[in-house]
Chains A and B, each alone.
Chain A
Amino acid sequence: MEVAFYIAAAVAIISTVLMLRDLNVVHALLYLIVSLLAVAVVFYVIGAPFVAALEVIIYAGAIMVLFVFVVMMLNLGEHANAMEKGWLTPGIWIGPTALAGVLLGEVGYLVLRGGSPQMGAGMVAPKQVGIALFGPYLIGVELASMLLLAGLVGAYHLGFRTTQRTEIRHARDTDERRAAPGGDFVLAGTNRPPGTP
């Protein structure tokens, strides 16, 4: 059991160091995801399966997908396709894949071995966590919900203002172009302004 813990911890540290050393954002994100998965395995081994599941689902599943989305969105350009082809060379994905393979083998070993996975002092059951969370920590849960609401409103505000400003600019440009003589429209007949050729 200690062996599994040390292997997972080593994978976490190695992938984090590689993440910090990487200059390309997408490669660093790959290593960061592997690091989060390794930390989840560590949680599982020390007897916190609930937190391990949360780490995989929320951190590696949701937050990292958000990161990858934004990074991919900001990379849009003419040379994006060539860059993405360059990212798929074997030298790049072999590192994260090897580390993730180590983690996968370890999880398979733990599952096949069965029994209680904890090491050290023992495991804290999810039921215990839930009871404590909605007992003495109820005010903390309320504060977390308010924080999430504030974050939601803030993110919506930032995104909304950007799109609105773009639309206003677009409308203004269209109006100017339409008002300018010799613009997009060729006027003929009585509504032709004087002085236009």
Chain B
Amino acid sequence: MSLEVMLNAAGLAFVVAGSRWQQADGQIVFVFILAMAATEVAIGLALVLQLYHEFKSLDADALSEMREVA
């Protein structure tokens, strides 16, 4: 979700700059950012679902099982 906020801020900056110089480029970049965010959300949520399926929790610390046991 914080990632979404950051992507939105970048998109807002692009659109404002494009509006300032009367160019359509800023809005085009925003469309690209939108597509990228949609993809990223789909993959991330699929990963989260699988994590929940395997570990029955959403704790990111549970993913440390690849680490060598000290």
Contact call A70/B45, Cβ cutoff below 8 A: yes
On whether A137 and B53 interact (CB within 8 A), knowing A122-B22, A150-B39, the answer reads no
Contact call B15/A46, Cβ cutoff below 8 A: yes
On whether A58 and B34 interact (CB within 8 A), knowing A63-B4, A129-B28, the answer reads yes
Contact call A35/B5, Cβ cutoff below 8 A: yes
Indicate with 1 or 0, residue by residue over A47-74, a CB within 8 angstroms of chain B CB atoms: 1101100110011001100110010011
A181 shortest CB reach to chain B, Å: 32
Of the stretches A79-87, A104-112, A151-159, the one at the interface is A151-159
**A42 CB within 8 Å of chain B:** yes
Partner of B19, one of A35, A48, A162: A48
Closest to B58 in A: A74
Query: What is the predominant secondary structure among interface residues of chain A facing chain B?
Result: helix
Partner of A162, one of B2, B11, B49: B49
Contact call A51/B41, Cβ cutoff below 8 A: no
On whether A158 and B39 interact (CB within 8 A), knowing A59-B8, A129-B28, the answer reads no
Contact call A137/B28, Cβ cutoff below 8 A: yes
Partner of B15, one of A32, A48, A122, A151: A48
B40 shortest CB reach to chain A, Å: 8
Contact call A148/B38, Cβ cutoff below 8 A: yes
Give the docked Cα–Cα distance between A121 and B11 (Å): 18
Q: Which residues of B contact A55 (CB under 8 A)?
A: 34
A142 shortest CB reach to chain B, Å: 11
Contact call B43/A155, Cβ cutoff below 8 A: yes
**B1 CB within 8 Å of chain A:** yes
30 A-B pairs (CB sep. < 8 Å): A28-B1, A29-B1, A46-B15, A46-B16, A51-B27, A51-B30, A59-B8, A59-B34, A63-B4, A63-B37, A67-B41, A67-B45, A70-B49, A120-B20, A121-B21, A122-B19, A124-B18, A124-B19, A124-B27, A128-B24, A132-B24, A137-B28, A147-B35, A148-B38, A155-B45, A155-B46, A159-B46, A161-B50, A162-B49, A162-B50
The 6 A-B residue pairs with the shortest CB-CB distance in the complex, in nearest-first order: A151-B39, A158-B46, A132-B24, A155-B46, A144-B35, A155-B42
List residues of B whose CB falls within 8 A of some A CB.
1-2, 4-5, 8, 11-12, 15-16, 18-28, 30-32, 34-43, 45-50, 52-53, 58
